[in-house]
C-alpha cells in the first residue's frame, strides 16, 4: 500500500488490526536527494507518520516504535549528542526538510502518548546500510550509494572516483540487522517520552568508508576528494548510553557487513536499481 494514502492505510489497519507496529517506512535519500527535493521529503514523511500513527491509535495498537534519525539534532550539538538536544538549535540546512518531518513525527508520537491514545516511543538511528538497501547512486545513503557508484566505476574502468568533501567528515554507521535487534529491544523495554538513540557508537571518516568499500568492490582507480561540494555536518556521534543500558550493543563486524551488502547488491535488485 501507499502509506501516504489515508484510505489505503485505514483499509490495512481495519483488516490487520496489529498489536505492535514498527514504523520504519520513510522517504529517505543521500545528501544530493535531500538538497534537491526538500519539499518532497518534508511532505511525504509527514503523510506517512500521520496516517500510520493515527490509524494505529484508532484500531487499538498496543505500542508503536517510530524510527526517526540522527538528523533531528542541531548541527552544532555537543558531541556525543544526547536525546535532550532535540530542538535546542538550528538544523543542518542540507537535510532540513527531512529532519523537520522526523521531528514532527517524534512530537506527534509524544502528543498521542501523553493523551493516552497510543503508546509511541521513538528511536533515533545513525547512518544505516544493509541487504536490500536503496542502491541508487544519487538517492542512496552513504554506504549503499558508494557501493553503487564504485561498482559502476569498476565496470567502466574509470581512472578516478570523485567523493564530495575532503573525506574527513565522520558518520556513525550501523548495519540493518543490528538496528532490527535494537528496535526489538526498544519495543520490549523502553517506555519513556523522550526519544532513544540507537547508534553503534562507532564513527567512520567518509574517506575511510570510501577506501574500505573500494577494496570490497574491487575498484583500483584513484579516489579524489572534492572539497568544493557540501558534505553536511562534519560530525554527529550520538550518546547511546540509554540503549546500551537496556542490554543492546551492535554485534556485526562492519567489514563483514560491507561484503554481505555488496554481495546482495550483485545478486539481488541492486545492480538494476543502482
Residue 117's pLDDT is 98
Residue 136's pLDDT is 85
Residue linked to cell 555488496: 262
Residue 272's pLDDT is 46
pLDDT tens-digit series, residues 90-128: 999 999 999 999 999 999 999 999 999 999 999 999 899
Residue 125's pLDDT is 95
pLDDT tens-digit series, residues 161-182: 999 888 999 999 999 999 999 9
- Distance of alpha carbon 65 from alpha carbon 151, whole angstroms: 35
Which residues are tagged catalytic? Answer: 98
Residue 144's pLDDT is 94
Q: Where are the alpha helices (DSSP H) in 59-205?
A: 96-115, 142-155, 176-189
Q: Does domain 7-266 have CATH number 3.40.50.720?
A: yes
pLDDT tens-digit series, residues 185-225: 999 999 999 999 999 998 999 999 999 999 999 999 999 99
pLDDT tens-digit series, residues 25-70: 999 887 788 889 999 999 999 999 999 999 999 999 999 999 999 9
Amino acid at each position: 500500500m501507499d502509506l501516504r494514502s489515508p484510505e489505503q492505510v485505514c483499509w490495512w489497519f481495519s483488516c490487520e488490526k496489529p498489536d505492535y507496529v514498527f514504523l520504519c517506512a520513510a522517504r529517505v535519500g543521500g545528501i544530493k536527494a535531500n538538497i534537491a527535493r526538500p519539499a518532497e521529503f518534508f511532505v511525504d514523511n509527514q503523510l506517512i507518520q500521520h496516517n500510520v500513527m493515527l490509524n494505529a491509535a484508532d484500531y487499538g495498537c498496543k505500542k508503536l516504535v517510530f524510527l526517526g534519525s540522527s538528523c533531528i539534532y542541531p548541527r552544532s550539538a555537543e558531541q556525543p549528542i544526547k536525546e535532550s538536544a532535540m530542538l535546542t538549535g538550528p538544523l543542518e540546512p542540507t537535510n532540513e526538510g527531512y529532519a523537520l518531518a522526523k521531528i514532527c513525527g517524534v512530537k506527534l508520537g509524544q502528543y498521542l502518548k501523553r493523551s493516552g491514545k497510543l503508546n509511541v516511543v521513538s528511536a533515533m538511528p545513525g547512518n544505516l546500510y544493509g541487504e536490500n538497501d536503496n542502491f541508487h547512486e544519487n538517492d542512496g545513503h552513504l554506504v549503499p550509494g558508494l557501493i553503487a557508484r564504485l561498482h559502476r566505476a569498476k565496470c567502466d574502468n574509470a581512472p578516478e572516483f570523485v567523493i564530495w568533501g575532503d573525506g574527513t567528515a565522520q558518520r556513525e554507521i550501523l548495519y540493518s540487522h543490528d538496528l532490527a535487534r535494537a528496535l526489538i529491544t526498544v519495543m520490549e523495554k523502553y517506555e519513556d517520552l523522550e526519544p532513544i538513540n540507537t547508534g553503534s557508537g562507532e564513527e567512520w571518516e567518509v574517506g575511510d568508508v570510501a577506501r574500505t568499500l573500494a577494496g570490497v568492490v574491487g575498484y583500483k582507480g584513484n579516489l579524489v576528494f572534492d572539497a568544493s561540494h557540501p558534505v553536511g555536518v562534519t560530525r554527529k556521534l550520538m550518546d547511546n548510553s540509554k540503549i546500551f543500558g537496556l542490554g543492546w550493543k551492535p554485534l556485526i563486524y562492519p567489514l563483514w557487513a560491507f561484503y554481505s551488502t555488496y554481495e546482495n547488491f550483485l545478486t539481488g535488485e541492486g545492480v538494476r536499481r543502482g
